[in-house]
Amino acid sequence: MQWTLVVPLKPLAQAKSRLADTADDGLRPDLALAFAQDTVAAALACPAVRDVAVVTDDARAGRELAALGAEIIPDEPGSGLNAALAHGAEAVRSARPGSCVAALNADLPALRPPELARVLDAAAEFPRAFLPDAAEIGTTLLAAAPGRPLFPAFGIDSRARHRASGAVELSVAAVDSVRQDVDTGDDLRTALALGVGPHTAAAAARLLIPGQ
List binding-site positions. 139, 155, 158
- SS3 state of residue 198: helix
Query: How many Cα atoms occupy the beta-carbon half-sphere of 68 within 13 Å?
Result: 24
The C-alpha atoms of residue 119 and residue 167 are separated, in whole angstroms, by 14
Q: CA torsion, points 51, 57, 58, 60, in degrees to nearest 10?
A: 60
The C-alpha atoms of residue 103 and residue 154 are separated, in whole angstroms, by 10
Annotated binding site for phosphoenolpyruvate: 139, 155, 158
Helix (H) or strand (E) holding 125: none
Complete DSSP assignment for 81-120: HHHHHHHHHHHHHHH-TT-EEEEE-S--TT--HHHHHHHH
What DSSP state is assigned to residue 26?
T
**Angle, helices 28-44/59-68, rounded to nearest 10 degrees:** 30
